[in-house]
C-alpha cells in the first residue's frame, strides 16, 4: 500500500558535496504517509517538532508550500538544518527556520483568512493536545489546519479534540515495522470558514472504514492494552472509569466491524 519512496534531493552532506550532485533522502513510511495527506498547496506549512526536517524537506521538494516553516526547540538541530537547507534549497524565500517552542509560533504574521497547515508529528498525544489547544485559543480568528501524528494516547487526544472548534478532514492508520500510527487531518470548523466535515470520534472513524487485517490487528492490540490496564491498574476510581469507557468504545467498534 505505502511503498518506501526514494526522493531525489540535491546534496545532503555539507562537507564533501559538489553543487549539482544528487543524494537520496529516504523517508520513513510514517513520514511518507503524513506527506501523502497533504493533497493541496498552502501558502504556509509549519513542520513543527521537525527534528532533522525530513518531512518539511519532502514537502518543499514537492512544491506544495509557498513557504515551509521548520520549527524545533533545539538550537543545535536547527543550526544544522539551516546549513542543509541553504545547500539544498537555495531559494531562501521558500523556507524559514524557527528555533522556537511550538507554543510560540508567530501564526499572526499571516493574514487570518489565509489557510495555514500546522503539522505536529512524533511527540506524545498529551503534548500534541496542549499545542493544538494553545494555538487554537491564541489564534482563534485564523484559518488553521492541523495534521497530527501523535505517539500514544490517541483516544485521550481525540476525546479532547472533539470539544474544540475542529472538524475531521481525513484520517489514516499505518504500520511501520511493528508500530502502528494514526494520522489525523483536522480543519477549523467555524462560521467564517465553513467546511464539509466528519465528526471527530474518540476511537477514530475514517481510519476504520473498509477495515483490513491491519485495522483488525491494531484494534485487537488496542483492546488488549486497555484490558491489561484495567486488570493491573492502581488507578483512582475516575481513571478506572475512563479506562473502562475507552475499552467499551473499542469493543463496540470491534463488534460493529465484525457484524
Ligand atoms: C521525535 S522528534 C519528531 C521528528 C519528526 N516530527 C517526526 O515525526 O519524525 C521530536 C522533536 O520534537 C522537538 N520538540 C519537543 N517539544 C517541542 C516544543 N515544545 N517545541 C518545538 N519542538 C519540540 C524535539 O526537539 C525533537 O526534535
Whether residues 231 and 187 share a domain: the answer is no
Whether residues 62 and 157 share a domain: the answer is yes
Whether residues 159 and 258 share a domain: the answer is no
Whether residues 196 and 233 share a domain: the answer is no
Whether residues 198 and 215 share a domain: the answer is no
| Distance between Cα 213 and ligand 1 center (Å) | 31
User: Ligand 1 pocket, 78 CB below 6 A?
Assistant: no
Q: Is residue 20 part of a domain?
A: no
Whether residues 234 and 110 share a domain: the answer is no
Model confidence, pTM? 0.90
Q: Is residue 245 part of a domain?
A: yes
Q: Residue 84: which domain range?
A: 28-207
Sign of CA dihedral 123, 152, 126, 42: positive
User: Ligand 1 pocket, 126 CB below 6 A?
Assistant: no
Last residue of a domain, one of 207, 224, 244: 207
Q: Is residue 45 part of a domain?
A: yes
Whether residues 48 and 157 share a domain: the answer is yes
- pLDDT band with cut points at 50, 70 and 90 for residue 196: low
Calpha distance 121→98 (Å, rounded)? 16
Q: Scanning the structure block, which residue is given the C-alpha cell 538550537? A: 75
Here the CATH number for the domain that contains residue 122 is 3.40.50.150
Q: Is residue 4 part of a domain?
A: no
User: Ligand 1 pocket, 73 CB below 6 A?
Assistant: yes
User: Ligand 1 pocket, 123 CB below 6 A?
Assistant: yes
Copy the grid coordinates of residue 142.
485564523
Q: Is residue 81 part of a domain?
A: yes
User: Ligand 1 pocket, 37 CB below 6 A?
Assistant: no
DSSP string covering 13-57: -SSS--TT-EEEEE--HHHHHHHHT--S-EEEEEEET-TT-HHHH
Percent pLDDT > 70 in the chain is: 87
Which pairing describes strands 144-151 and 166-176: parallel, antiparallel, or unpaired?
unpaired
Q: Is residue 61 part of a domain?
A: yes
Q: Is residue 23 part of a domain?
A: no
Whether residues 42 and 114 share a domain: the answer is yes
Asked which of 2-11, 71-80, 91-100, 182-191 is least confident by mean pLDDT, the reply is 2-11
Whether residues 202 and 214 share a domain: the answer is no
Q: What is the mean pLDDT of residues 107-131?
A: 97
- pLDDT band with cut points at 50, 70 and 90 for residue 198: confident
Whether residues 32 and 90 share a domain: the answer is yes
Whether residues 55 and 160 share a domain: the answer is yes
Copy the grid coordinates of residue 219.
484494534
Q: Is residue 17 part of a domain?
A: no
Whether residues 191 and 251 share a domain: the answer is no
Quote the number of domains for the chain.
2
Enter the DSSP assignment of 3.
P
Q: Give me the chain's average pLDDT, please.
A: 89
At 239-253, the pLDDT tens digits run 889 999 999 999 999
Q: How many CB atoms lie within 10 A of CB 45?
A: 26
Asked whether the beta carbons of 249 and 222 are under 8 A apart, the reply is: no
Asked which of 1-5, 21-25, 106-110 is least confident by mean pLDDT, the reply is 1-5
H helices present in the chain, as ranges: 29-36, 54-62, 75-88, 125-138, 154-161, 213-232, 237-258
Amino acid at each position: 500500500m505505502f511503498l518506501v519512496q526514494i526522493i531525489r534531493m540535491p546534496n545532503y552532506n555539507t562537507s564533501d558535496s559538489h553543487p549539482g550532485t544528487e543524494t537520496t533522502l529516504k523517508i520513513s513510511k510514517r513520514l511518507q504517509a503524513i506527506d501523502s495527506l497533504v493533497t493541496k498547496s498552502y501558502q504556509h506549512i509549519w513542520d513543527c517538532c521537525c527534528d532533522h526536517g525530513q518531512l518539511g524537506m519532502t514537502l518543499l521538494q514537492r512544491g506544495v508550500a509557498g513557504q515551509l516553516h521548520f520549527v524545533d526547540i533545539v538550537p543545535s538541530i536547527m543550526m544544522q538544518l539551516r546549513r542543509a537547507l541553504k545547500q539544498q534549497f537555495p531559494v531562501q524565500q521558500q523556507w524559514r527556520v524557527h528555533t522556537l517552542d511550538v507554543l510560540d509560533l508567530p501564526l499572526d504574521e499571516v493574514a487570518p483568512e489565509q489557510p495555514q497547515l500546522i503539522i505536529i508529528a512524533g511527540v506524545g498525544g498529551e503534548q500534541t493536545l496542549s499545542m493544538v489547544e494553545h494555538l487554537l485559543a491564541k489564534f482563534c480568528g485564523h484559518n488553521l489546519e492541523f495534521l497530527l501524528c501523535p505517539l500514544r494516547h490517541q483516544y485521550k487526544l481525540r476525546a479532547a479534540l472533539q470539544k474544540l472548534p475542529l472538524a475531521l478532514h481525513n484520517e489514516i492508520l499505518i504500520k511501520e515495522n511493528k508500530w502502528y500510527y494514526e494520522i489525523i487531518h483536522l480543519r477549523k470548523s467555524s462560521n467564517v470558514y465553513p467546511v464539509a466535515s466528519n465528526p471527530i470520534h474518540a476511537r477514530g472513524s475514517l481510519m476504520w472504514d473498509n477495515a483490513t487485517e491491519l485495522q483488525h490487528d491494531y484494534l485487537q492490540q488496542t483492546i488488549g492494552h486497555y484490558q491489561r490496564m484495567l486488570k493491573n491498574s492502581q488507578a483512582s476510581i475516575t481513571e478506572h472509569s475512563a479506562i473502562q469507557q475507552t475499552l467499551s468504545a473499542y469493543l463496540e467498534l470491534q463488534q460493529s466491524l465484525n457484524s
